[in-house]
Chain A
Amino acid sequence: EAEVAQSPRYKITEKSQAVAFWCDPISGHATLYWYRQILGQGPELLVQFQDESVVDDSQLPKDRFSAERLKGVDSTLKIQPAELGDSAMYLCASSLGPSIFSYEQYFGPGTRLTVT
């Protein structure tokens, strides 16, 4: 069964360091999402890609976060510099396409980030 892959699964970093997460969506899925889930809360969207283009990054803290999906397949989310408040689970999800014709989002296992 096809799955969304993420790495690393766990990351511990010191504040002010740079950190990067990688996501490989289900093959053929044009839409890719990065969510952040703070402990005890539901996920919140950080950025949404349609192929290689960003379609929603309104909640991405652009002073320190960046995301790319250069060839419209896998994606990298970077934080530089990391802050203590960035400690969270970072979830990647993918779907066939946008809007009501591709309503099922499939999530990866997530990357648990701890900033010390």
Chain B
Amino acid sequence: DTGVSQNPRHKITKRGQNVTFRCDPISEHNRLYWYRQTLGQGPEFLTYFQNEAQLEKSRLLSDRFSAERPKGSFSTLEIQRTEQGDSAMYLCASSLAGTSEKLFFGSGTQLSVL
């Protein structure tokens, strides 16, 4: 399978714990996006990378959230000191930069904070 891969698929954690998610994009894609989605809402933009550079970060993203994309390949999203409000589906997407680029999404990581 050469699609976007996200791990883990599900994560249950206790409030205050740190969690880290991983995203493996399609290999030749140079852009990588992170989104968050809660029930009944569309995906909400968090951040995106072009190669290893983080080009934009949502103002909604608190400093408890950090994302990295070392070497411009896989990416990790870490949430420190999780809160119940962080419970959501975290989606990763990758694309090849261009004027009419298409996003390819992974199946997401469902986070539940107890």
Indicate whether A and B interact: no
